[in-house]
Amino acid sequence: MVQHTTLATDRLAAQREFRTELIDSGVLVATSVDGLYQRSAVFESVVRGLERRVSAEGADRYEPLLFFPPVLPRDVFVRSDYLRSFPDLTGSVDTFVGDDRDHAELLQALDSGADWTQYLTPAEVMLCSAACHPLYPSLTGTLPVGGRRMEVQGFCFRHEPSIDPARMQVFRQHEFVAVGDPEVCVAHREEWLERALRILGGLGLAVRKVVANDPFFGRAGRMLAANQRDTALKYEIVCPITSAEFPTAIASGNYHIDHFGGPFSIRTADGDTAHSACIGFGMERITLALLKTHGLDPQCWPSTVRTQLAL
């Protein structure tokens, strides 16, 4: 127990120290909200170098890259069923649809320190939880033989305030998604996990593959988490950032079975409910792993790394 506590304290101290280094060097700018950062041009140049690097790996094998905005239609979010597993991470968007009188009441509440958000109404959109969620409604219907393969990038929001710089509330995922038969999907996940290990290892990161351990919510969530581990549907590629004992997941490969094919009515050419799988690169986390591994100034990184990222 003593050792466990020491480990946890060390871990927190290491997270805080790296965060301070990132902020003092100007690579990230802190805000008043934990886990919410402004990115320097230096940070962004690494993200874009990574984008080119992983995108080149999928070239010609995938449909053209799509960039998704940070919000998605509410009905798509609901059908993704994210609320069942991770309600605590979601971001629902409210707006004001009232008249002059309602507005006057809202401002009165605001000025008197009361809860002004009671005058708001749910909008048609939610913040994205995973980059591939907005993709599935566009696949409703029957797939061509062999399924489809897509490449997408988007901002995700996860409400988990933390001082760990690798646990941001807003970050980008760059994903490669396959939909089709189970065989197509499992092969996609396996190929990309190997490819991701090669790409990230080639950038000098000490990566390895582990079975994923997602933070499913609550009592029911503990069963879902155990089931996820037992069935090994999702793997993570982890890398030490602020802790060797608790490496950070910087990419993941996830076989969804019919989790999206069902609700979004996606069918294979044979008429079966389509399966899907995705590999997601966490652009901010990989950038942080590179900054931790090679130093805070990308101009001083090994030339092989700089070349691969076209920095």
64 or 144: whose CB is closer to its own copies? 64
CA–CA separation, 167 and 153 (whole Å): 19
Please select the residue that binds its own copies; options are 76, 130, 178, 196, rule is CB under 8 A. 76
Please select the residue that binds its own copies; options are 6, 9, 20, 31, rule is CB under 8 A. 31
Told to check if 39 binds its own copies by CB under 8 A, we report: yes
Nearest CA among 156, 169, 196, 188 for reference residue 256: 188
Please select the residue that binds its own copies; options are 14, 46, 54, 71, rule is CB under 8 A. 71
Is 123 exposed, middle or buried, given 0-12, 13-18 or 19+ CB atoms closer than 10 A?
middle
Choose the binding region for its own copies from 9-17, 185-193, 216-224, 274-282 (rule: CB under 8 A).
216-224
Which position has the token pair 């499913």?
216
Please select the residue that binds its own copies; options are 36, 206, 223, 232, rule is CB under 8 A. 36
Which position has the token pair 């939909």?
179
Q: Which amino acid is at 76?
A: V
Please select the residue that binds its own copies; options are 95, 213, 227, 231, rule is CB under 8 A. 95
Q: Are 49 and 307 in contact (CB under 8 A)?
A: no
Q: What does the buried/exposed string (b/e) look like for 108-117 if buried means 16 or more CB atoms within 10 Å of the residue's CB?
A: eeeeeeeebe
9 or 121: whose CB is closer to its own copies? 121
Based on C-alpha coordinates, what's the Rg of the chain? 21
Q: Give least dist CB 143 to its own copies, A.
A: 17
Q: Which helix (H) or strand (E) holds 202?
A: helix 182-202
How many other CB atoms are found less than 10 A from the CB of residue 48? 14
118 or 142: whose CB is closer to its own copies? 118
Told to check if 226 binds its own copies by CB under 8 A, we report: no
β-bridge pairing 66-68 and 148-157 = parallel
Please select the residue that binds its own copies; options are 83, 187, 257, 269, rule is CB under 8 A. 83
Q: Give least dist CB 299 to its own copies, A.
A: 14
Told to check if 176 binds its own copies by CB under 8 A, we report: no
70 or 262: whose CB is closer to its own copies? 70
Q: Are 176 and 251 in contact (CB under 8 A)?
A: no
Site for its own copies in 232-291 (CB under 8 A): none
Please select the residue that binds its own copies; options are 91, 147, 247, 280, rule is CB under 8 A. 91
Site for its own copies in 118-157 (CB under 8 A): 120, 122-125, 127, 134, 137-138, 155, 157
Q: Give least dist CB 206 to its own copies, A.
A: 28
Contacts 24+ apart (CB under 8 A), 294-303: 294/204, 296/21, 296/22, 296/25, 296/27, 297/25, 297/42, 298/42, 298/45, 298/46, 302/204
- Contact residues toward its own copies (CB under 8 A) are 26, 29, 31-33, 36-44, 64-73, 75-76, 78, 83-84, 87-100, 103, 106-107, 110, 115-117, 120, 122-125, 127, 134, 137-138, 155, 157, 159, 161, 169-170, 217-220
